[in-house]
């Protein structure tokens, strides 16, 4: 079983003299998407650290901080099976002691899409991740591509602040239905999760239109909207095509970083997903 530590001092002791360190930051309620990150990290690192911390800074006043799913016993089972060495589980007072007044804001990348829908969210994410990077001092940190905008923000932060870490993003892990795995899926019943696959189906409709030769972003977006609009439960936040700079595209950039992103509420739960725009021969890998 992994060593569980709760303070920076315990963490430093646990990592003293260790080799190549990998970090998988999480908010707990772990699923196979998290486990995939851990297994990949285990392959390339001597020491694997997983943080479990429900970060209050990234939740807005009306969001689900109090209700966010938590199951420590289950989480420890997941990290044990993945071969994690150290689990860092600080509390909020440890991460944000009295008179904590510093925030990390990544301008530009944080301002649209989820940044517009959830003001302050990415500032909270960047702040906690920078603290974790400073505490753990990993050689490599692993994140899922489901949170594509978050990944872009963190990569920019690492570049801008000269943080000595390699940021690795791994493809979204999906249920057999196509639904992107997320801790918030636990809010949905099995039938509701089946309905929520409308998000991934909409993204695949955009992919199919692109693979068929369409390059006008309005027409590509409409292909996705046609799928989403067929389900009255979808309360759409955004469906956007973005280029490498995370800005909306008027025509498709043929590079591999071009993405279609969606966020919507279904059954009272906010869900996000994204997929790369790829040519037909690459679709099986998305």
- Match 């700079």 to its residue by tokens: 245
Task: Say if residue 234 is in the same domain as residue 205.
Answer: yes
Nearest alpha carbon to residue 184 among 45, 66, 29: 29
pTM for the full model? Answer: 0.93
Question: Predicted confidence band at 257 (pLDDT cuts at 50, 70, 90)?
Answer: very low
Q: Residue 284 pLDDT > 60, yes or no? A: no
DSSP class of residue 171? Answer: P
153 in a labelled binding site: no
Task: Examine residue 271 and state whether it is found in any structural domain, yes or no.
Answer: yes
Confirm whether residue 120 is marked as ligand binding: no
> What's the rounded Cα separation, in Å, for the pair 79 and 76?
5
- Cβ neighbour number for residue 42 with a 10 Å cutoff: 17
- Same domain flag for 12 and 114: yes
In a domain? residue 286: no
Q: Which residues are catalytic?
A: 34
Backbone region of residue 113 per phi and psi (left: phi > 0; alpha: psi in -120 to 50; beta: other values) = left
pLDDT band at residue 282 using 50, 70 and 90 as cut-offs: low
Please tell me whether 182 is known to bind a ligand.
Answer: yes
- Percent of the chain scoring above 70 in pLDDT: 93
271 is in an annotated binding site: no
* 156 in a structural domain: yes
179 is in an annotated binding site: no
My answer on whether 153 and 71 are in the same domain is yes
Contact 84, 142 (CB under 8 A): no
**Mean pLDDT across 45-69:** 97
What pLDDT is recorded for position 244?
Answer: 74
Based on the fold, state whether residues 23 and 142 are members of the same structural domain.
yes
Same domain, 142 and 191: no
| Residue 175 falls inside a structural domain | no
- Domain containing 92: what range? 3-170
Per-residue pLDDT reduced to its tens digit, 157-168 = 999 999 999 999
Rounded to whole angstroms, the Cα distance separating 24 from 14 reads 16
Whether residues 94 and 203 fall in one domain: no
Same domain, 39 and 116: yes
Residue 147 sits in the same domain as residue 276:
no
Whether 100 and 14 share a structural domain:
yes
Q: What is the CATH number of the domain that holds 271?
A: 3.30.1300.10
Residue 160 shares a structural domain with residue 188: no
Residue pLDDT, tens place only, 97-153: 999 999 999 999 999 999 999 999 999 999 999 999 999 999 999 999 999 999 999
* Annotated binding-site residue? 121: no
Average pLDDT rounded to a whole number, residues 63-82: 97
143 and 249 together in one domain: no
Diameter of the chain measured on Cα atoms: 57
Query: How many residues would you count in the chain?
Result: 286
Please check whether residues 18 and 150 belong to one and the same domain: yes
Our count of domains for the chain comes to: 2
Residue-wise burial string across 163-172, b where 16 or more C-beta atoms lie within 10 A, e elsewhere = bebebbbbeb
Using DSSP's 3-state secondary structure scheme, residue 226 falls into: helix
């Amino acid at each position: 079983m992994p060593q569980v530590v709760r303070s920076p001092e315990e963490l430093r002791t646990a990592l003293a003299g260790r080799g190549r360190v990998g970090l998988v930051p999480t908010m707990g309620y772990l699923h196979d998407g998290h486990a995939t990150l851990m297994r990949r990290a285990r392959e390339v690192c001597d020491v694997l650290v997983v943080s479990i911390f429900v970060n209050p800074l990234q939740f807005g006043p009306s969001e689900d901080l109090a209700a966010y799913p938590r199951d420590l016993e289950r989480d420890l089972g997941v990290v044990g099976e993945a071969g994690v060495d150290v689990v860092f589980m600080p509390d909020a007072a440890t991460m944000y002691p009295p008179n904590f007044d510093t925030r990390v804001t990544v301008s530009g990348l944080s301002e649209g899409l989820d940044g517009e829908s959830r003001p302050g969210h990415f500032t909270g994410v960047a702040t906690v991740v920078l603290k974790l990077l400073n505490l753990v001092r990993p050689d490599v940190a692993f994140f899922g591509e489901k949170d594509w905008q978050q990944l872009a923000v963190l990569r920019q932060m690492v570049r801008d602040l000269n943080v000595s870490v390699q940021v690795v993003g791994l493809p979204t892990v999906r249920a057999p239905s196509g639904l992107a795995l997320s801790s918030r899926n636990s809010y949905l019943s099995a039938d509701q999760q089946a309905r929520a696959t409308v998000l991934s189906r909409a993204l695949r409709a955009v992919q199919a239109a692109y693979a068929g030769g369409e390059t006008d972003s309005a027409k590509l977006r409409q292909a996705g909207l046609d799928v989403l609009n067929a389900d009255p439960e979808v309360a759409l936040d955004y469906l956007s095509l973005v280029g490498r700079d995370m800005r909306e595209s008027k025509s498709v950039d043929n590079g591999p970083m071009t993405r279609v992103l969606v966020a919507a509420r279904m059954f009272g739960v906010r869900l996000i997903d994204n997929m790369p725009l790829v040519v037909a021969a690459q679709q099986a890998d998305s």
